[in-house]
């Protein structure tokens, strides 16, 4: 379990996160949702350690992340896989080199073993015959899949995904969402997904946390989200006229 | 003033992250060799071209400035050698390299920053500063002083070709001047300067790239700032080194 307790974060005196306490469960796809600028990316970056929280505690299972030294943090991060919004693939490396990169850095596996593992990860995300291509020659959806393959290369315990389907068409988005969902359950990991895509929420949101203006406003499941009376959440979820009409019809 | 101290502090903290033991020595050496190619070998043509022309120009200018019949013509060779060795082959070449490899390093690392590739390295548990910057600094600091020697030799060759193709100085007098009162320490002085300048170029441009933020325009700005800072630091350190070493 990942547990964040009383997280505060501000930039140049401007508060961005305000007293956020939330836990993320194992073997579940945990979604952080919220409007653009609500602070969800900052929260995700605080959780993975790319931003340092001004106050609060972040626990990875029974390890208090804030109390770790630089080297200890580095060791913990080897258990983390992350899919970035823009994929963040290394443009100097081929697809295969991107996937084998964590293995090159942290394992003593032979070249053959690394290649086998890379092929397994690429097949797992349904990518074949792209090993020797460079990221720039792949489509957005393929880049995301390579990003997932790289993230799971070393069997992570924690998987973080920042806007995994931003910039993708609805069909590819669903493929990526399902892939993350399947991997979460297949490997029994803790997955945290940052999104504002309601399709993702309804598709894979086993636990949903709603962030609004830097504070946690609501927490529940995708089923509960449809029946909540939380005004801010309703404004966010049923933003479009079509969604409003559907909700009225359901009532 | 406060901003300058903040930048210096930020730079020193980055260097503290850079100068750590690499995660994997095999990976480091592979990158080291690649960086020798990228920062050193790829600069050979530009260094060669600039040096041969400057050597020739120094020869012409020196001959025009020696009007007195009391000064032997061999002094043209002597002056060309001293100018090339003491100043041009280290300082001027370093300024050329600041433009060439400094901008390349700042924009490469800056692009990696804004496309979250550096974040990806950090998340994996890789010390991104060490992984990206250390091979560049070591390769340039160790290999690029050889460019200074190369520039020196080619510059002298340029002067000799000028002597050969014009009547401003006899080639044998030029060669005689090259051999006159040679101080081997000047070679060491040039090599030390070049090593320091290359450390400055790679570390400062990497610093500007590493802390780039925003979009492509900001990466361009960080590359420009990198070159300006490198050039300024090269000139200041040139003054200090010359004062200390000579």
Domain chopping of chain A, boundaries = 1-79+163-251, 87-155
Of these ranges, A139-153, A187-201, B45-59, the one predicted with the greatest mean pLDDT is: B45-59
**How many C-beta neighbours within 10 Å does residue A11 have?**
10
Residues of B with CB under 8 A from a CB of A: 23-24, 27, 111, 115-117, 119-120, 122-127
Model confidence band, residue A246 (pLDDT cutoffs 50, 70, 90)? low
Could you tell me what percent of chain B has a pLDDT over 70? 100
Closest CA to B91 of B244, B230, B246: B230
Residue A81 to residue A161: CA distance in whole angstroms? 8
Give CA angle at B184 (B180, B186), nearest 5°. 95
CA of B38 vs chain A CAs: smallest distance (Å):
13
pLDDT in tens, B14-63: 999 999 999 899 999 999 999 999 999 999 999 999 999 999 999 999 99
A234 φ, ψ (degrees, to nearest 5): -60, -40
Least CB-CB distance to A90: which of B24, B27, B117? B117
**How many C-beta neighbours within 10 Å does residue A36 have?**
7
pLDDT in tens, B182-199: 999 999 999 999 999 999
Interface check for A76 against chain B (CB to CB < 8 A): the answer is yes
Closest CA to A206 of A21, A40, A31: A31
Q: Determine, for residues A85 and B120 on separate chains, whether the beta-carbon distance falls below 8 Å.
A: no
Least CB-CB distance to A86: which of B23, B116, B124? B116
pLDDT in tens, A208-219: 999 999 999 999
* pLDDT higher than 90, residue B113: yes
Looking at residue A59, what is its pLDDT?
A: 95
What mean pLDDT value characterizes chain B?
94
- Residue B65, H or E segment: helix B44-65
Between the alpha carbon of residue B43 and those of residues A167, B104, B111, B194, B231, the distances in Å are 40, 12, 22, 14, 17
Q: Are A134 and A173 in contact (CB under 8 A)?
A: no
Residue A27 to residue A80: CA distance in whole angstroms? 15
Between the alpha carbon of residue A234 and those of residues A212, A217, A231, the distances in Å are 12, 11, 5
Looking at residue A126, what is its pLDDT?
A: 87
Topology of domain A1-79+163-251, per CATH?
A: Rossmann fold (3.40.50)
What mean pLDDT value characterizes chain A?
90
Model confidence band, residue A99 (pLDDT cutoffs 50, 70, 90)? very high
Q: Determine, for residues A77 and B122 on separate chains, whether the beta-carbon distance falls below 8 Å.
A: yes
* pLDDT higher than 80, residue A243: no
Give CA angle at B233 (B231, B234), nearest 5°. 65
Residue spans per domain, chain B: 25-245
Contacts of A177 (CB under 8 A, 6+ apart): A164, A165, A199, A200, A203, A204
Strands A158-162 and A55-60: unpaired
Looking at residue A251, what is its pLDDT?
A: 62
ipTM of this model? 0.86
Residues in chain B with CB shorter than 8 Å from the CB of A48 are 123
Q: Determine, for residues A106 and B125 on separate chains, whether the beta-carbon distance falls below 8 Å.
A: yes
* pLDDT higher than 80, residue A244: no
Residue B123 to residue A82: CA distance in whole angstroms? 7
Model confidence band, residue A241 (pLDDT cutoffs 50, 70, 90)? confident
| A 9-28 residues inside an 8 A Cβ radius of B | none
Q: Are B168 and B222 in contact (CB under 8 A)?
A: no
* pLDDT higher than 90, residue A63: yes
Compute the average pLDDT of residues A150-161: 93
Strands A55-60 and A63-64: antiparallel
Looking at residue A233, what is its pLDDT?
A: 84
Compute the average pLDDT of residues B133-139: 97
Least CB-CB distance to A74: which of B116, B120, B125? B125
Looking at residue A167, what is its pLDDT?
A: 81
């Amino acid at each position: 379990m990942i547990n964040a307790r009383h997280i505060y974060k501000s930039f140049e005196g401007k508060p961005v996160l305000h007293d956020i306490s939330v836990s993320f469960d194992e073997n579940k796809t945990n979604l952080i949702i919220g409007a653009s600028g609500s602070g969800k990316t900052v929260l995700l970056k605080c959780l993975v350690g790319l931003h340092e929280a001004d106050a609060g505690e972040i626990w990875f299972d029974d390890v208090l992340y804030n109390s770790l030294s630089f080297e200890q943090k580095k060791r913990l991060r080897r258990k983390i896989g992350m899919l970035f919004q823009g994929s963040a693939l290394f443009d100097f490396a081929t697809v295969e080199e991107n996937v084998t990169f964590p293995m090159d850095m942290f394992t003593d596996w032979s070249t053959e073993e690394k290649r086998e593992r890379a092929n397994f990860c690429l097949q797992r995300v349904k990518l074949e015959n792209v090993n020797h291509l460079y990221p720039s020659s792949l489509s957005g959806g393929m880049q995301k899949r390579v990003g997932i393959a790289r993230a799971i290369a070393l069997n992570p315990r924690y998987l973080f995904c920042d806007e995994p389907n931003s910039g993708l068409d609805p069909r590819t988005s669903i493929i990526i969402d399902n892939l993350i969902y399947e991997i979460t359950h297949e490997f029994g990991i803790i997955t945290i997904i940052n999104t504002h895509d309601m399709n993702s929420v309804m598709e894979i949101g086993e636990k949903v946390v709603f962030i609004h203006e830097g504070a946690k406003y609501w927490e529940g499941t995708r089923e509960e989200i449809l029946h909540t009376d939380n005004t801010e959440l309703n404004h966010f979820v049923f933003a479009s006229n079509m969604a409003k009409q559907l909700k009225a019809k359901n009532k | 003033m406060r901003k300058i101290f903040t930048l210096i502090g930020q730079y020193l903290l980055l260097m503290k992250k850079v100068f750590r033991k690499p995660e994997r020595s095999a990976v480091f050496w592979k990158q080291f060799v690649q960086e020798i190619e990228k920062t050193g070998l790829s600069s050979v043509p530009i260094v060669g071209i600039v040096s041969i022309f400057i050597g020739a120009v120094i020869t012409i200018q020196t001959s025009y400035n020696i009007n007195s019949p009391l000064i032997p013509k061999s002094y043209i060779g002597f002056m060309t050698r001293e100018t090339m060795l003491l100043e041009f082959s280290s300082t001027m070449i370093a300024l050329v390299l600041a433009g060439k490899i400094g901008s390349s390093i700042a924009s490469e690392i800056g692009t990696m920053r804004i496309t979250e590739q550096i974040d990806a390295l950090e998340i994996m548990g890789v010390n991104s500063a060490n992984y990206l910057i250390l091979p560049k600094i070591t390769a340039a600091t160790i290999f690029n002083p050889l460019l200074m020697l190369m520039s020196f030799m080619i510059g002298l060759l340029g002067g000799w070709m000028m002597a050969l193709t014009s009547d401003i100085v006899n080639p044998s007098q030029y060669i005689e001047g090259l051999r006159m009162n040679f101080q081997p320490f000047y070679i060491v002085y040039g090599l030390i300067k070049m090593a320091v300048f290359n450390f400055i170029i790679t570390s400062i441009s990497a610093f500007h790239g590493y802390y780039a933020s925003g979009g492509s325009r900001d990466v361009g700005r960080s590359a420009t700032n990198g070159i300006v800072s490198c050039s300024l630091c090269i000139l200041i350190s040139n003054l200090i080194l010359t004062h200390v070493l000579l």
